[in-house]
Structure 1
Amino acid sequence: MRRVLILLAAGLAACTAAEPNPSAPACGADGYQSLVGSPLAAVTLPAELPQRVIRPGEIVTMEYRADRLTIDVDEAGTITGVRCG
């Protein structure tokens, strides 16, 4: 019985949410907030910057990457938000 409880406790401990890595590099979204309201077509970002553009109705994955710049765009192609993830 004791062995079962130990295995159960170990199994439940493995189900806890992963903590975000504080040492992971941030994407620097604060430096890109001035892009909000600009047309996406007029924006050039550094090629080495991990980035993704999310358009209305687009299906995206939910994984969080602190080093990736996520750009939200409306139907007209205007940037509505900039954030890490």
Structure 2
Amino acid sequence: MRKLLLLTAVTLAACTAETSAAPVEGGPPQPIPIHGVTPGHKCSTAATDKFIGHAGTSRNGRAIKRASRAAVLRWAPPGYMLTMDYREDRVTVYLGPDRKITKINCG
């Protein structure tokens, strides 16, 4: 019983969360990146409307990703289930049944 309690305590101690990464030489510890945030990438759909109605090709996907300044591109074909987590570094491209782009949004 005592060994089991000791094993449980050690296992739980290993699961504690770190709040910062290793310090940069000569500076304070750097914060751990938050899920859904890529430094330097914040999605904006201001320049992506021109792709609506175009084919959902990898070439257009790369252009949308570049135009939106997103780090992550996600395709959403018709009937495809998506997670509802919001990521400010992700652009989502919705496709119609004809594989044409119907909507583009961030998140």
Q: Find the counterpart in structure 2 of residue 55 from structure 1.
A: 77
Deviation at 1:28, TM superposition (A): 2.1
Q: From 28, 38, 42, give the equivalent of 1:26.
A: 42
Q: Which runs of 5+ in 2 are unaligned?
A: 1-36
Q: TM-score, normalised by structure 2?
A: 0.51
Richer in strand (by share): 2
Q: Find the counterpart in structure 1 of residue 34 from structure 2.
A: none
User: Which structure exhibits the higher relative contact order, with contacts defined as CA atoms closer than 8 Å and separated by 6 or more residues?
Assistant: 1
Distance 1:43 1:25, change over 3 A: closer
2:95·2:101 contact (CA, 8 Å) conserved in 1? yes
5 Å matches for 1:36-75?
36-41=52-57, 43-45=60-62, 46=65, 49-75=71-97
Q: Deviations over 1:39-70 (max 9, x none)?
A: 11251415873110101111111101111011
Query: Take 2:74 and 2:61, find their aligned partners in 1: how far apart are those partners?
Result: 13
Q: CA RMSD in A?
A: 2.7
What amino acid sits opposite 2:86 in the alignment? Y
Q: TM-score, normalised by structure 1?
A: 0.62
Query: Take 1:71 and 1:44, find their aligned partners in 2: how far apart are those partners?
Result: 8
SS in structure 1 opposite 2:81? coil
Q: Which runs of 5+ in 1 are unaligned?
A: 1-20
